[in-house]
Structure 1
Amino acid sequence: MPYSELLKPIKSFLKCETPDEWVAEAIKPENFTMLLLDHLICELKASQSAMFLIRKYAVDKQSGDALLEWLNPFETYIYKREGNWRDLAAKNKLTKSVVPKSNSPYGQDLIDKMVLLIKEELHHFYQVLEMMDHYTIEYKSITPSRYAKGMLKHVKTHEPNTLIDKLICGAYIEARSCERFAKLAPHVDKKLGDFYISLLRSEARHYQDYLTLAEEIAGQDITERIAYFGEAEAELISSPDADFKFHSGIPLIVKKAG
């Protein structure tokens, strides 16, 4: 496959591949709507997580407020059901320059990588809405999966380890997303499959950006910590899960049937 080279470091980074049972469940027609809805929410959550890191660790209040204003139309559409989704593409831009706090030890590199990530995730968010429109799927609220919470519960509570751990979590979430898009692409129609393939390059870069930031901020070898989260992530992916979502584990109904 043309994207196999792109996936090599992803597969090496992840401690397990997506189980075949999940793929089989994901391509069932009755799960199509949930897959797109959860993908939509994942794109927004990824933007929010990156936004939180910039605001907490790298910028002053004025820049933080400008960032919040950038994200507001997207959150308003999801949480308040207000606005026209077609207007969101024009709103994916910053109105003010973002500068590091003078006392920030993390500075411009964190900002640059996370701002680019947010812009791309919000662009993907809009693209998923276009897909939903194409397939006549209306947005509705869904419950969050166990995945992100299951990763973040392992994050240490003292700095800079909290930040480092969150960046490692971000790397795994992006890497898994990339791997799952590649798993799904051959099994869906061409329009959606092409869309999933188009996401691979940016998702692969996002995982590398998170990992690079974690290593730079740590200033020391964090191989063991990366491996620790890798095992936690693999457990979530390879264990039975009663709730089918984009990042869920082995569907429980399949597990019971086996």
Structure 2
Amino acid sequence: MVPASPPIRFLQSPTQPAWLDLALANLDEILLDHAHCERKAAGVALNLICRYPSTVPLVRSLTAIAREELEHFDQVNQILLDRGIALRPLVPPPYGAALKAQVRRSEPDRLLDSLLVAALIEARSHERLGLLGQHCPDVALARFYRSLMASEARHYGVYWVLATTEFDRDQVEQRLETLAQAESEALSPLHPQPRIHS
């Protein structure tokens, strides 16, 4: 068992060692889920662009994120191919649905919540890919995960900057605290199937 990860900005609780134990024991399934995570992350950015096309800073920033997420999706797919693993659907953990349920439906609250939820997911991805990069016994795979950490950190920073550009800073921080609590609760108890966000 490894110690809990160090604190990551925005996250109210660190990933527990049991998650890493489960992930390292099921690396092929984690890779599959990672591919789906990158695809979904690109979709989140594109959906926000489509919903708010007149918000120029958002469109420009999220176009770059969508492009980078798709590049990561392609990279993970190549690793799967090299390992003889076919890309296939996986049953998602309840994490994403739990956070989506927190997003308020009326504007401008919907935009604020969507940006902050995306920031929290990227922050959790940054933390967990870092854990895999540090502890994965497959040297090449560990190096790959470490190479993604800066991107994930940059992505959650972009969502945060967009939120604080469009909304009052106090309002953003107050709502972030609520959503971060929900994000932490969505990870407990540990989902029995190995997933990046389980």
Q: TM-score, normalised by structure 2?
A: 0.92
Does the 8 Å CA contact 2:19/2:190 hold for their aligned counterparts? no
Match of 2:162, SS state, is: helix
Contact 1:18 1:238 (C-alpha < 8 Å) held by counterparts:
no
**From 15, 18, 28, the counterpart of 2:15:** 18
Alignment gaps of 5+ in structure 1:
1-6, 59-103, 249-258
Deviations 1:188-220 (CA, angstroms, capped at 9, x unpaired): 211111110110111101001001111111234
Letter in 1 for 2:41: A
Aligned to 1:241: 191
Matching residue of 1:55: 50
Unaligned 5+ segments in structure 2 are: none
1:235 CA drift (Å): 1.0
Once residues 198 and 240 of structure 1 are traced to their aligned partners in structure 2, the CA distance between those partners, rounded to angstroms, is 26
Larger-gyration structure (1/2)? 1
Alpha-carbon distance, 1:134 to partner: 1.8
- Secondary structure of the residue that 1:12 maps to in structure 2? coil
User: Contact between 1:160 and 1:218, CA under 8 Å: does it hold in 2?
Assistant: no
User: Is residue 12 of structure 2 the alignment partner of residue 36 of structure 1?
Assistant: no
- After superposition, the C-alpha distances for 1:140-162 in whole angstroms (9 at most, x for unaligned) are 11112211111110111110110
- Does the CA-based 8 Å contact 1:19-1:238 persist in structure 2? no
- CA distance in 2 between partners of 1:142 and 1:24 (Å): 20
Q: Which residue of 2 aligns with 1:158?
A: 106
3-state SS, counterpart of residue 15 of structure 2: coil
CA distance in 1, matches of 2:129, 2:149: 7
The answer to whether 1:180 aligns with 2:110 is no
Task: Kindly state the Cα deviation for residue 11 of structure 1 after the two structures are TM-superposed.
Answer: 1.2
Partner of 1:195: 144
Q: Distance in 2 between matches of 1:220 and 1:194?
A: 36
CA RMSD, 1 decimal: 1.5
The alignment covers a number of residue pairs equal to 192
Query: Which of 155, 158, 167 is the matching residue for 1:209?
Result: 158
Letter in 2 for 1:125: F
Identity of aligned residues (%): 36
Distance of 2:102 and 2:193 partners within structure 1:
21
Aligned partners of 2:166, 2:13: CA distance in 1, in Å? 27
* Whole-angstrom CA distance in 2 between matches of 1:194 and 1:207: 21
Q: Which secondary structure does the structure 1 equivalent of 2:9 belong to?
A: helix
* Matches of 2:189 and 2:17, distance apart in 1: 13
Output the CA distance in 1 between the equivalents of 2:141 and 2:39.
19
Runs of 4+ in 1 over 6 A off after TM superposition: none
Q: Distance in 1 between matches of 2:169 and 2:130?
A: 33
**Does 2:178 align with 1:228?**
yes
